[in-house]
Each structure stands twice: as C-alpha cells, then as structure tokens.
C-alpha cells in the first residue's frame, strides 16, 4: 500500500462535492492501492461549514479503507497545506441580474487568493484542477499567481463536455459508448466549445462516415453538447453535479494514467491558433503521472477553424475582463 496523498477540495459541501468526495475516498480517482487524506475547504459561512460537518460524518460512516484522514476548514492555508492535488470546485454562482464581467471579477479574486496560497503551501508535486466556473479563466488566473509551480500544473476541466460528446455520438450511431473514440473538446467550457467530430472514430472508422450526416454534426450535435449544462438546469432545476463529479474523477484519473489520451484545458502556448495566454481545451497524452504533452497537428478544416476562432475570442474577452487582476507582465 502506498503512503497517503493529500487531496484538497474547495466547495466541498456543495452539490458537486457531495457526489465527488465519496468517489475519491472509495479509490475511483487514484486507484485501489492509493490511500487519501481529504482536505475539505468551504467558504467561511456558518451554513456551509455546518453542512461540511455533515458530509465529513457521512464519509466516516462509509468506513472507506482508503480514507486515512479528513481535514475540515475555511482557511485555505490549512486546506491546501502539503496538498498533492488541489481540486478547485467552489466558486461564486452567477446571481440574478449579475453581469458576466462581475462574475468573472468576483471569482477572479477567489482564484487569485487560492493560486497564491497553493503556490506557497501545497506539496512540491502539487497539481491543480479547476472546475468552478468560468473554469478556464479561473484556472488562468490561479496559474498567474504561481511563482513556484509551473503553469502546466494548472488544468481546467472540459472532460464533462468530452463525455457528453462521446455519449451523443454513440446514441446517434446506435453503438456502445466504448465504440466511440478520439472525440476531443477544444476551447472554453462554455457553449462556444468545439467538439472536434472530424477526428472521432466509431468502431475504428471515421465518425463522419459512420454517421453520414454533416448537418447534424455541425448543427444539433455541437449545439447539444455546448448547451447541455443549460438543458440539465431546465430539466432538473439544478446544475449538473453527479456528471460533473464523475468527469472530475475521469479528468484526474486520466492525468495520472500514463498513455491516456483525453481533453484537458491547458495553457495553450499558441497551439491550434489559441492565444498563447489562455487556458483552452485540447487533446493531451499523459506522459508520467500528473504530466502530459499536448497532441498537436490535428488537421482542422474551415468549419473547425471558425469554431476554434470563436471560442478563442471568448477566452481572450474573458481574459480582458479580468486584466486588472493579473500581474502586469503576464
Ligand atoms: P454549489 O453552489 O452547490 O457549491 C459550491 C460550493 O462552493 C458552496 O458550498 C460554496 O459555499 C463553496 N464556495 C464558494 N466560494 C468558496 C471559496 N472561496 N472557498 C471554498 N469554497 C467556496 O455549486 P456546484 O453545483 O457544486 O458547482 C460548483 C462549480 O462548478 C460552479 O462554479 C459551477 O458553475 C461549476 N461547474 C463546472 C463544470 C465544468 O464542467 N467545468 C460543470 C458543472 C458545474 O456547473
């Protein structure tokens, strides 16, 4: 049995937290031989901290053999201390009448503080995965504060979008989910994201040939995947939680599994025409546990280029809206 790793989770008493923590503690994220210590961080709000107590009690009551400890705190310096993985799920939701720019700035301030503290107190091998929206820009903001941890350590989640796209393609083709491969998400975790169907395969054949309906792929498919979050809110009366938690399990599991190929929002460095200083979804191959290489050179036709330009534009606009929060040189 390995020695335990420390996994910090913000927003631990929220909806996603409630679906996520039990999966981590059961071994779904890091495997059946890897014990964990959960470091649960909530906002300094009485109701949230009380709810967190209840969640910790339930974790105890599961008697998970891999769960070697639970920390409960509203102090990020305690919660991120020596953390090997920092899962940033908590964020401020968009309130009624709130402008997108205000949401970006309010969350930006949270992620500035968390980026600084993680950089100061987390483990030397710390990895950060951001779920709280706007996830890509929050991730960019947190990474901008780091002096010790390099930007590749900061990733944002687009795996829910990849899973949604895979599922939609399987349904349309009438095949089992596992028949669908190589569907990757480019850009922002927002309705502008681009699920690049031209590279996808179904039973090893090009998905475009199998589905044979370009109008559906360019239209309904992209729209369904892009607006799935809103459809779930409309149906369920609450935003995606279990599927988001499941996607974060997949995101981290793939990042610690050498050879895994999957979609992650990472610092673009200019690949695929993304601005060099935005965090954009793209395919990566995990090299060693926690490290990855971006898969470059996937051909993009005119439709794909237009979609990528649109999602890149949104990312650069988000960046401009929080420019005042960023270090001058970045
Ligand atoms: P909830 O509102 O249920 O939970 C959020 C929790 O975060 C609350 O308990 C709150 O007290 C806590 N929190 C707020 N600020 C905090 C801080 N500074 N430190 C620690 N905790 C803090 O939201 P939930 O449904 O769990 O969603 C969490 C975030 O995930 C939201 O921003 C949501 O938009 C985002 N999502 C991202 C997805 C993605 O694919 N990237 C998909 C699902 C989800 O919509």
pLDDT digits (tens, 9 = 90+) for 89-144: 999 887 777 777 888 999 999 999 999 999 999 999 999 999 999 999 999 999 99
Is residue 170 located within the same domain as residue 305?
yes
Ligand 1 lined by 112 (C-beta under 6 Å)? no
Q: Cis link prior to 134 (omega < 30° from 0)?
A: yes
pLDDT above 60 (res 330): no
Which residues on neighbouring strands pair with residue 263, listed in sequence order? Answer: 283
How many angstroms separate the CA atoms of 109 and 164, rounded?
30
Mean pLDDT of the chain: 96
Catalytic residue among 68, 189, 199, 251: 189
- Residue 121 CB neighbour total at 10 angstroms: 17
CATH number of the structural domain spanning residue 126: 3.40.50.720
Looking at the 3D structure of the chain, how many domains does it have?
A: 2
Domain boundary among 90, 122, 156: 156
Domain containing residue 137: 5-156
The tokens describing 186, both together, are 């480019």
Tell whether 99 and 39 lie within a shared domain: yes
* 237 and 284 share one domain: yes
pLDDT tens figures, 37-76: 999 999 999 999 999 999 999 999 999 999 999 999 999 9
* pLDDT at residue number 329: 61
Of the residues 156, 180, 195, the one at which a domain ends: 156
Q: Is 189 a known active-site residue?
A: yes
Ligand 1 center from residue 161 Cα (angstroms)? 17
Asked if residue 160 has its Cβ within 6 Å of ligand 1, the reply is yes
pTM beyond 0.95:
yes
The last residue of a domain, from among 112, 141, 156: 156
Give the span between the Cα atoms of 253 and 246, in whole angstroms: 10
139 lines ligand 1 (CB under 6 A): no
Mean pLDDT (whole number) for 312-328: 94
pLDDT band at 240 (very low <50, low <70, confident <90, very high): very high
């Amino acid at each position: 049995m390995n020695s335990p790793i420390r996994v910090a989770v913000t927003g631990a008493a929220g909806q996603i937290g409630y679906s996520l923590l039990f999966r981590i503690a059961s071994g779904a994220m890091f495997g059946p031989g890897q014990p964990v210590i959960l470091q649960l961080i909530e906002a300094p709000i009485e109701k949230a901290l009380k709810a967190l107590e209840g969640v910790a009690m339930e974790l105890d009551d599961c008697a998970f053999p891999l769960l070697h400890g639970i920390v409960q705190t509203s102090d990020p310096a305690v919660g991120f201390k020596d953390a090997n993985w920092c899962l940033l799920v908590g964020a401020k939701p968009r309130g009624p009448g709130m402008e997108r720019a205000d949401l970006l700035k309010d969350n930006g301030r949270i992620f500035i503080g968390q980026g600084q503290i993680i950089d100061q107190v987390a483990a030397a091998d710390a990895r950060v995965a951001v779920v709280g929206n706007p996830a890509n820009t929050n991730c960019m903001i947190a990474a901008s504060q780091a002096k010790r941890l390099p930007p590749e350590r900061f990733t944002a989640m687009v795996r829910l979008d990849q899973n949604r796209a895979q599922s939609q393609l399987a349904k349309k083709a009438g095949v089992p989910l596992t028949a669908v491969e190589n569907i990757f998400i480019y850009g922002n975790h927002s309705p502008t994201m681009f699920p690049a169907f031209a590279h996808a395969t179904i039973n090893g054949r090009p998905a475009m040939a199998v589905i044979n309906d370009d109008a559906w792929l360019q239209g309904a498919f992209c729209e369904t995947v892009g607006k799935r979050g809103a459809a779930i809110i409309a149906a369920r009366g609450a935003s995606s939680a279990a599927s988001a938690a499941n996607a974060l399990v997949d995101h981290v599991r793939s990042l610690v599994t050498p050879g895994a190929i999957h979609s992650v929002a990472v610092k673009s460095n200019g690949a695929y025409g993304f601005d060099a200083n935005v965090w954009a979804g793209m395919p990566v191959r995990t090299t060693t546990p926690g490290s990855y290489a971006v898969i470059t050179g996937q051909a993009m036709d005119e439709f794909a280029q237009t979609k990528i330009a649109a999602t890149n534009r949104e990312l650069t606009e988000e960046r401009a809206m929080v420019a005042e929060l960023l270090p001058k040189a970045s």
